[in-house]
Amino acid sequence: GWNKAFGRRGRVFADRYHARPVTSPTQMRNTLRYVLFNHVSHSIRDWQANRGQLRQRLRFFEPDRWSSGRWHPTKSGVWVIDGSPPPAGSPLSAPKTWLAREGWLRAGGPIDPAELLDRRPPRPPRAR
């Protein structure tokens, strides 16, 4: 397997795998947003000061052109990267649960990449 191919031993990505049940529309939508845009979330702090410029560069927020994210629905239908819609024949299997199929849409609708610019830090817990 993987370890043999790379001359490794031990668990692969054990420190990077976090299994967590997704049980609500909001949690599912946040999970999808994380998966689709994780590649930009690491550098977004560098762009926070230039929000206007960044909004003009929404290409920066497209899913990776080599990922299946191109077939994920958007507010306008599907992602168009460099003027090209995704090829026919989605590699995605149809979601098997209501939450993955449509439930997540109840938590804010299709994911807009500009949302990443509007992220606010979580509020601290209120004292009781």
DSSP 5-55: HTT--S-SSGGG-------SHHHHHHHHHHHHHHHHHTTHHHHGGGHHHHH
Element spanning 98, H or E: helix 98-101
78 within domain boundaries: yes
1 within domain boundaries: no
Domain count, the chain: 1
C-alpha span between 116 and 74 (Å, rounded): 14
3 within domain boundaries: no
Token pair 């849409």 is at which residue?
A: 105
Tens of pLDDT, residues 100-121: 888 998 998 887 766 766 655 4
Number of CB atoms found within 10 A of residue 28's CB: 23
Domain that holds residue 89: 22-118
88 within domain boundaries: yes
27 within domain boundaries: yes
123 within domain boundaries: no
Tens of pLDDT, residues 48-106: 555 555 555 554 566 666 667 777 766 666 666 666 666 777 777 888 999 988 899 89
5 within domain boundaries: no
